[in-house]
Chains A and B, each alone.
Chain A
Amino acid sequence: MVKDDLQQIEAEPRKGNALKFIIGGIVIVAAIIYLMVSSLQANIQYFLTVDEAMEKQLAGELTGRNIRLSGAVLGESIHYDMETLELSFSIVHVPGDIELVDEEGGLAAALHNAVMDPTRSQLKVVYYGAKPDLLQNEAQAILTGEFIAEGVFEADELLLKCPTKYEGSVPDQIES
């Protein structure tokens, strides 16, 4: 241990002052809890499917609200303007319930079914910025942003996932 001049001033510990430490501890803990709760309230976002979002938008519940959306990317709808960096594409409804997705045979199958089914509801998405590497047909898109018109969603954050990419399904060569 460091033996220096500091230890010379070590005074007799005073007894019976546990209370002030408990109060000090409570103040710190309370401050952290306050921070956490207030930040949480300010930053909660709805996480909706395409169907839910359209329904809520029609009811006027989403005006000016930042929300999160998930759906399947429709490959043929992807359009990118290099001059303005405007990226637009459509997403198709995919059920949000894990059980429903499992019924369809997993996420990859659910995304595939969604894109192949013309009766499903669709939303147009616009985004300004770089075109993400994973943006392709049947990718799962998770978007953060808000509605700017009926059926048009402006995303300020794009998160894409290709379920087949991270661990491939049976390779094509032997499936046929």
Chain B
Amino acid sequence: MVAEIGFGSLFISLIVSVYGVIAAIYGVNQHQKKWVSSAQQAMRLVFPLLTVTVGSLLYLLINNNFEVVYVSKVSSLSMPLYLKITALWGGQAGSLLFWSWLLAGFTSAVTLKKWERDQDFLPWVIVVGLGTLAFFLVLNTFFENPFVRYWQVNQDIVQSFTQPAGGFIIGPQNGAGLNPLLRHPGMVIHPPMQYLGFVAFIVPYAYAMASLITGRSDDRWIQLSRRWTLWAWLFLSLGLILGARWAYDVLGWGGYWGWDPVEISALMPWLSGTAFLHAVLIQEKRGMFKQWPIVLIILTYLLVIFGTFLTRSGLLSSVHSFAASAIGPIFLAFIALTFIASFWLLSSRWDKFKSRQELTSFFSKEALILVSIILLMGMLVTSFWGVIFPNISELVTGAKVTVGPPFYERVAAPILGGMLLIMVICPLAVWSYVSFKHLGKLLWKPFAVSLLGIVLPLVGGLTKVPAVIAFWLIAFVLAVNGFEFVRRTRLRRKTESESMVNAITRVFQRNKRSYAAMIIHIGIVFMGLGIIGIEFFQTETQATLAEGQELELAPYTMEYEALEIFDAPDARNVARAVVLVKKDGEVIDEIYPRRDFYYDSSQPVTIPGVRSTLLDDFYVILVDWKAVTSEGATFKVYHNPLVQWLWIGAWVIIGGVVIATWPDKKTSKVVSNSARPK
């Protein structure tokens, strides 16, 4: 019964979506407002409808209704409640449904705003939002139905949603359970964040399309979608970082990012989305390059769909991919259609979005931002090429080839360096025109301070040139931001003769966006610090130890104390080592690397024991042990300097985005004033 309700509601939301698209187009054509409002109602309706569907599937998961194929594949009796809920997006059909549900949530939320000023946008936003949703609902209804059940027909087991002739429902006693690797708190939030990030980009895309179709070439679409874009960007960033964290905590290879094609396919929309955010800034402040944001948001949207396609088509094999499926060709058709429609529209409006201003100085803010956009796009093209090249090469030469992480790293390192250099200059540059001489006057003090970033590592015995350069750049960025903040505050105090505290808060309030940007960039630099630490300075060793024996990996020593093997209540066997961490002969910590063996899927999961400080992580993996004789256990040990900063940087970025999007009446007025092209 619940399955019928769920599917029924799913099917109705598909019909409502299709109706909404048609009604919106008809309403515009016939100039009849009532059809557009009817379409708006449809858009509001899909979210509650799909909530019923998602609720039904959750009900089935929580109540162990294993006669539903999806439930039997991703859930099992022994899983705790939170994992049963997580199982909603643990498999193909469910994750597609979850995706559609989030999409419906966003599109419904968009319709809630007041549209008076933007009546002409409304129908087209509906067409894009509901059109995309309809596509995903078609997948869920006809190809990946999460409510399909097992039926016994004579001697055969049939999978079908509707009852086959003479069939009756049959269900296994227990399900296969969620893949143990996915049973981690990080897995509870990583996919939803990733999906939220993906899905939220549809809002700026929809506004961009509406702007193209109506031919309104002002900044209105950008203003309307600014907060959406920032949140989308934040969610996508969080999705990536949480994924990295999960890999670091669970996959037990001492790393966090493997240039896996699926990771790359999530990185690509982030790269173009980041470029989009910056292009928007140039348009808002200078009214220049108006075509760029549109090109970039189309690209981002296409990459979002492309990334979803890659993980679901069976084209790639990776920890992320779902089982091979027939939905690949349909996805490709949808991507092709979107691509052609978007760029055809853009080309037909190209002249309307031309701007007259020109670049005037290499060191103006717009020129610097432009360079950073080019660098981001360079990384994007590299990533895309790395993913797609093996397929092209096979078509052309017949030989299967692959490209590994070194390919991406060799390109990424100089690009990251270039980005850091721009982050040095950018806070000091102004819009329109800056002379190099003036810039030099502002730069020399932070530059002097940043030399510490060279001297300190060299004194510390560092010999790797790229690492020294990287440390110097990071010190430079931080110094520039620090000096700039002090300088602006002083200036304010001088002109307004306020108290120090007052001046700081005022400066902050008046330039909320610019300070939020500063904070976000400092977060990025912190992350850079973590990446440099682990990429350049990771060391590792391994050994088999008897109880009481030690293994050294400078500056730490580990002592293997004991091994405990026991059964945990959720049907897994745990082998847990007790390891003492010593530094300079003194015990400073105790960690527990362990290996969980899941009975229902007979798969082990290795979870490292980590001692984490701001300076470094001591990361110990329990590789193997001799169970009976307790002769010893084998450990693999990593020393990962500075990696904590990767996660700290993420928190800083969250703070920055929260500040940037914080609703503030006074500020939003300032923003819309200065947003007009000069």
Seen from chain A, the residues whose Cβ lies within 8 Å of a Cβ on chain B are 1-2, 4-7, 9-11, 13-15, 17-18, 20-21, 24-25, 28-29, 32, 35-36, 38-40, 42-48, 68, 80, 82-83, 85, 96, 106-107, 129-131, 133-134, 140, 142, 144, 161-163, 165-168, 170-171, 173-175
Contact (Cβ within 8 A) A39 B323: no
Closest to A29 in B: B374
How many angstroms between the C-alpha atoms of A15 and B361 in the bound complex? 11
Seen from chain B, the residues whose Cβ lies within 8 Å of a Cβ on chain A are 66, 72-74, 91-92, 150, 157, 170-176, 179, 181, 252, 285, 317-318, 321-324, 358-360, 362, 367, 370-371, 374-375, 378, 381-382, 385-386, 389-390, 399-404, 406-407, 410-411, 414-415, 428, 430-435, 438, 488, 491, 511, 514, 542, 544, 601, 603-606, 621, 623-624, 626, 632, 634, 636, 674
How many angstroms between the C-alpha atoms of A11 and B433 in the bound complex? 7
Contact (Cβ within 8 A) A165 B601: yes
**Measured between C-beta atoms, what is the minimum distance from A83 to chain B in Å?**
6
Contact (Cβ within 8 A) A35 B414: yes
Instruction: Please give me the 5 A-B residue pairs with the lowest Cβ-Cβ distance, nearest first.
Output: A168-B176, A32-B378, A47-B400, A13-B360, A43-B407
Q: List 16 A-B contacts (CB under 8 A).
A: A1-B285, A1-B674, A2-B430, A2-B488, A2-B514, A4-B491, A9-B433, A9-B434, A42-B406, A46-B399, A46-B400, A133-B606, A166-B179, A166-B322, A167-B322, A168-B72
How many angstroms between the C-alpha atoms of A21 and B363 in the bound complex? 11
How many angstroms between the C-alpha atoms of A33 and B56 in the bound complex? 51
Taking CB atoms, residues of chain B closer than 8 Å to A35 are 378, 382, 410-411, 414-415
How many angstroms between the C-alpha atoms of A166 and B415 in the bound complex? 35
Taking CB atoms, residues of chain B closer than 8 Å to A162 are 603
How many angstroms between the C-alpha atoms of A116 and B378 in the bound complex? 47
Taking CB atoms, residues of chain B closer than 8 Å to A43 are 403-404, 406-407, 410
Contact (Cβ within 8 A) B603 A165: yes
Taking CB atoms, residues of chain B closer than 8 Å to A173 are 172-174
Contact (Cβ within 8 A) A133 B604: yes
Contact (Cβ within 8 A) B636 A168: no
How many angstroms between the C-alpha atoms of A20 and B361 in the bound complex? 10
Contact (Cβ within 8 A) A175 B157: yes
Contact (Cβ within 8 A) A82 B432: no
Closest to A166 in B: B179
Contact (Cβ within 8 A) A44 B430: no
Closest to A49 in B: B400
How many angstroms between the C-alpha atoms of A9 and B428 in the bound complex? 13
Taking CB atoms, residues of chain A closer than 8 Å to B432 are 10, 13
How many angstroms between the C-alpha atoms of A42 and B321 in the bound complex? 28
Taking CB atoms, residues of chain A closer than 8 Å to B403 are 40, 43-45
How many angstroms between the C-alpha atoms of A43 and B409 in the bound complex? 11
Closest to B631 in A: A82
Taking CB atoms, residues of chain A closer than 8 Å to B542 are 85, 129-130
How many angstroms between the C-alpha atoms of A140 and B318 in the bound complex? 11
Given A5-B491, A28-B375, check contact A133 B430 (CB 8 Å): no
Taking CB atoms, residues of chain A closer than 8 Å to B606 are 130, 133
Taking CB atoms, residues of chain A closer than 8 Å to B375 are 28, 32
Contact (Cβ within 8 A) B73 A168: yes
Given A167-B91, A168-B73, check contact A82 B411 (CB 8 Å): no
Given A10-B432, A47-B390, A133-B606, check contact A21 B623 (CB 8 Å): no
Taking CB atoms, residues of chain B closer than 8 Å to A39 are 406-407, 410-411
Contact (Cβ within 8 A) B385 A40: yes
Contact (Cβ within 8 A) B636 A129: yes
**Measured between C-beta atoms, what is the minimum distance from B270 to chain A in Å?**
18
Contact (Cβ within 8 A) A13 B358: yes
Most chain A Cβ neighbours within 10 Å, of B252, B360, B415, B626: B360
Closest to A47 in B: B400
Tell me which of A29, A68, A82, A107 contacts B626 (CB under 8 A): A82
Contact (Cβ within 8 A) B438 A6: yes
Closest to B513 in A: A1
How many angstroms between the C-alpha atoms of A9 and B433 in the bound complex? 8
Taking CB atoms, residues of chain A closer than 8 Å to B175 are 171
Taking CB atoms, residues of chain A closer than 8 Å to B488 are 2, 4
Tell me which of B66, B382, B406 contacts A36 (CB under 8 A): B382
Closest to B367 in A: A21
Closest to A20 in B: B362
Taking CB atoms, residues of chain B closer than 8 Å to A9 are 433-435, 438
Taking CB atoms, residues of chain A closer than 8 Å to B252 are 130, 133
Given A6-B434, A6-B438, A44-B401, check contact A171 B72 (CB 8 Å): yes
Taking CB atoms, residues of chain A closer than 8 Å to B174 are 171, 173
Taking CB atoms, residues of chain A closer than 8 Å to B72 are 168, 171
**Measured between C-beta atoms, what is the minimum distance from B469 to chain A in Å?**
16
Contact (Cβ within 8 A) B603 A11: no
Taking CB atoms, residues of chain B closer than 8 Å to A140 are 317
Contact (Cβ within 8 A) A82 B390: no
Tell me which of A21, A131, A163, A171 contacts B323 (CB under 8 A): A163
**Measured between C-beta atoms, what is the minimum distance from B355 to chain A in Å?**
13
Contact (Cβ within 8 A) B323 A167: yes
Taking CB atoms, residues of chain A closer than 8 Å to B601 are 165
Taking CB atoms, residues of chain B closer than 8 Å to A166 are 179, 321-323
Taking CB atoms, residues of chain B closer than 8 Å to A134 are 603
Taking CB atoms, residues of chain B closer than 8 Å to A163 are 323
